[in-house]
Amino acid sequence: MIVDTYNRVHDYLRISLTDRCNLRCFYCMPEESYDFAPMKHLMQAGEVESIARSFVDLGVNKIRLTGGEPMVRSDFGEIILRLAKLPVSLHITTNAILLDRYFDVLKEARIDTLNISLDTLSREKFIRLTRRDKFDVTIQNIRSSLKQGFRIKINMVVMRDFNEDELLDFVEWTKNEDLEVRFIEFMPFEGNKWTSNQVFSLEEILSTISGRYEVQAVAGSLHDTAKHYQIAGHKGSFSIISTMSAPFCDGCNRLRLTADGKMKNCLFSKDESDLLGALRKGLPVEPLIQQNILTKAAKLGGQFHSNFNELKQETLENRSMISIGG
């Protein structure tokens, strides 16, 4: 088992496959020139499988593939099918741009739920946010994946003065469509120009939605990052991921592996363990995993607390989101 000093058992691994992406979302990727990791520094398909196996041997039973955009890797299909052989539930987070190429592979790997990022329903805003003109293909692929029978969760990062005015439009979408919209509080990472006043908090999101709809809270479980809500008569539902205003660290069971094979025990942890370096030297990675987990802080990588109003992004020691893996 992978257990930290607060007795939290860790059985969920999020693997970033690449720091490359076909979008340039300003909240994720530094605006100034960003140096992508050279391909030879990234885990190769067999190395992803091998390191994942070590985690599974230590008790991991859920794996999520993320990035960067995981589907930009030419060996994405191979990696999915290799990991599908492990005794884990397999998940993916994607921007959906290349999704239609992989419907068959995803089905073969028995992936039935897709987390898809979409922060605005406006084409013009999408282009401003992502610095790419890919709105139509994103929407088209979300529609196709619903038709293909996948369960869809939409990730929407809510930012004050950018898209908080669209909350009700996203909720309205769940009226006739059986999907879950997950509203995510904006988080600070290297180079994303985060400021505390841009965070549109759990409380503000709920009060905006409750102004229009009768909202019912749905009971969750210990490891949930999202707080779930239902509106009577809606086929779908919504949830809120309140990392900044109401963190959920007490029930944390999550571990991360960056695309260059470094283990992080928290999205905000400073320390990393080089599992890929060890693997390439023929050394076992399990001892490094066990050493790493003992350094896990109680909350938020030990770098800040839920009174985020005082926080300055520049004081955090971390990578950019695109190089950690969301």
Residues that bind ligand SF4 (CB under 6 A): 21, 23-25, 28-29, 67-69, 95, 117, 322
For the CB of residue 255, give the shortest distance to ligand SAM in the complex, in Å.
Answer: 16
Residues 105-134 that bind ligand SAM (CB under 6 A): 117
For the CB of residue 240, give the shortest distance to ligand SAM in the complex, in Å.
Answer: 12
199 binds, among ligand SAM, ligand SF4, none (CB under 5 to 8 A by kind): none
Site string for ligand SAM, 32-71 (x = CB under 6 A): ----------------------------------xx-x--
Which of 124-155 are b and which e, b meaning 16 or more Cβ less than 10 Å from the residue's Cβ?
eebeebbebebbebbeebbeebeeeebebbbb
Helix (H) or strand (E) holding 203: helix 202-210
Which member of 13, 19, 43, 94 binds ligand SAM (CB under 6 A)?
Answer: 94
Which member of 2, 15, 17, 28 binds ligand SAM (CB under 6 A)?
Answer: 28
What is the largest distance, in Å, between two alpha-carbon atoms of the chain? 59
CB-nearer residue toward ligand SF4: 2 or 29 = 29
Are the beta carbons of 20 and 68 closer than 8 angstroms?
yes
29 binds, among ligand SF4, ligand SAM, none (CB under 5 to 8 A by kind): ligand SF4
Tokens of 2: 């992978």
Stretch that binds ligand SAM, among 73-81, 181-189, 270-278, 308-316 (CB under 6 A): 181-189
Are the beta carbons of 326 and 28 closer than 8 angstroms?
yes
- Is residue 186 part of the contact set for ligand SAM (CB under 6 A)? yes
Separation of alpha carbons 280 and 10, rounded Å: 25
Which of 9-31 are b and which e, b meaning 16 or more Cβ less than 10 Å from the residue's Cβ?
ebbbbbbbbbbbbebebbbbbbe
The number of C-alpha atoms within 13 Å of 21 and in the hemisphere containing its C-beta is 31
For the CB of residue 235, give the shortest distance to ligand SAM in the complex, in Å.
Answer: 22
Are the beta carbons of 183 and 205 closer than 8 angstroms?
yes
CB-nearer residue toward ligand SAM: 70 or 261 = 70
- Is residue 206 part of the contact set for ligand SAM (CB under 6 A)? no
- Is residue 95 part of the contact set for ligand SAM (CB under 6 A)? yes
Site string for ligand SAM, 216-255 (x = CB under 6 A): ----------------------------------------
Q: Which residues, at least 6 apart from 23, have a Cβ–Cβ distance to it below 8 Å?
A: 69, 95, 97, 130, 131, 132, 134
CB-nearer residue toward ligand SF4: 29 or 156 = 29
Separation of alpha carbons 66 and 15, rounded Å: 6
Separation of alpha carbons 229 and 118, rounded Å: 19
CB-nearer residue toward ligand SF4: 34 or 103 = 34
Residue 191 backbone class (left: φ over 0; alpha: ψ -120 to 50; beta: rest): left
201 binds, among ligand SAM, ligand SF4, none (CB under 5 to 8 A by kind): none
Stretch that binds ligand SAM, among 32-40, 91-99, 134-142, 170-178 (CB under 6 A): 91-99
Q: Which residues, at least 6 apart from 27, have a Cβ–Cβ distance to it below 8 Å?
A: 129, 157, 159, 186, 192, 194, 321
For the CB of residue 120, give the shortest distance to ligand SF4 in the complex, in Å.
Answer: 12
Tokens of 192: 């994303």
CB-nearer residue toward ligand SAM: 9 or 121 = 121
Contacts to ligand SAM by CB under 6 A: 21, 27-28, 66-67, 69, 93-95, 117, 155, 157, 184, 186-187, 189, 192, 321-322, 326
